[in-house]
Chain A
């Protein structure tokens, strides 16, 4: 659970501006973006996600580096992705 995983913003909620649809390694889930209040966030931006919340906005290069780190740690990332797949934040 301690991992920060990068995701690409697909769309921002219209009724719920604190939620965004985010693509994480091909898995699309709702992520809460309330902690980034005041930051401009658009589709195509990358964010670092921790337990369903965006912690910070990052650039694409950092996202790729973070993803590579996660892929290198193997099982812990696989477990995190399984957990994310079961998630249905609203």
Chain B
């Protein structure tokens, strides 16, 4: 534990907090977006907002892969799972995400076989072990996860596993950040860049944020001191009149990313013309689909999909939460109709979702929400 103390040292946190406060221009308000759900966790878990002056506000971004999957894709997955002799596989996080009628768990109660897997390679193994079944992997995730699906596709092709396919729902982070920057709802002063996505894509793709939009971005690690350090770095840039991409998480994130990861994504997948994101709507070139060379492994070409667009439940305000316009507890159903036990929206289902993070760390439990409503 001696290592960890260095990262957790409260003294250092207080010193950083003082440096942060000293950099804030009197009378100016600062709003920074943490793009990644992992950062949201650290911020709530450690109450980092308490270390910041009231004029520095953190808002949550769209960086939770489960949260941004639209309901129609959940329905499509269940539709595939209902086809004869089909085994659907997906990450555990997806199992409780509500579709328009059912979750994967509900669907299994009615006879489908939707299995949780740890890795796409586990899905491939299920395919090898069940040659008389069609085994589909519902792939979700940002560029952090896409290389894993890509590597699995390469192996499936090499091993000629012809009963395996991928229902590709991979999304890309850059167009989502651009959509937020173009959104009139939100005025941001800078970004805390996602840690693990950047391990794959590196730091260069963020350069447009500073060059075209004039905002600073700091790629940040996940420890409490990493986040405070990154906020300090953003404020320092603003104070110096600079606007750059900086990498606070250099001990894990290489500036150029993971070249093999980017190569295998490019070999197996290409950008879709557009893709629907929960809350953000349709965004151009914001998701990946399989290349023609992998058509035989593409569930979207093997199965006929309803592909119906399903509007989110009216009461759910995940969209505003994902865009950083609303704080989780400002949603009408937060902590009352929508809880981790009975989630309405994806932000409450996924452990990386901002609503689940708020709720689970007891900052706004049911009782406190009631109190807040009463006052």
- Which residues of A does B touch, CB under 8 Å? 1-4, 32, 34-38, 48, 50-53, 55-56, 58-62, 64-66, 68-69, 72-76, 79, 83-84, 86-90
Chain A interface mostly helix, strand, loop or mixed? mixed
Bound-state CA distance A62–B226 (Å) is 12
Selected A-B contacts with CB under 8 Å, 18 pairs: A4-B144, A4-B199, A34-B260, A35-B260, A50-B148, A51-B141, A51-B148, A55-B144, A55-B196, A58-B251, A60-B3, A64-B3, A65-B221, A68-B223, A69-B222, A74-B360, A84-B118, A87-B119
What chain B residues lie within 8 Å of A52 (beta carbons)?
118-122, 148
Contacting residue for B141 out of A1, A37, A48, CB 8 A: A1
Nearest residue, chain B, Cβ from A71 = B4
Q: How far in angstroms is the closest Cβ of chain A from B80?
A: 19
Bound-state CA distance A76–B37 (Å) is 12
What chain B residues lie within 8 Å of A51 (beta carbons)?
91, 118-120, 141, 145, 148
B136 proximal to A (CB < 8 A): no
Bound-state CA distance A32–B152 (Å) is 10
Nearest residue, chain A, Cβ from B197 = A2
Q: How far in angstroms is the closest Cβ of chain B from A1?
A: 4
Interface size for B (C-beta < 8 A) is 51
**In the complex the two chains form, is B141's CB within 8 Å of A2's CB?**
yes
**In the complex the two chains form, is A32's CB within 8 Å of B223's CB?**
no
**In the complex the two chains form, is A79's CB within 8 Å of B92's CB?**
yes
Bound-state CA distance A68–B119 (Å) is 23
Bound-state CA distance A68–B6 (Å) is 12
Most buried by B among A4, A36, A56: A56
What chain A residues lie within 8 Å of B144 (beta carbons)?
2, 4, 50, 55
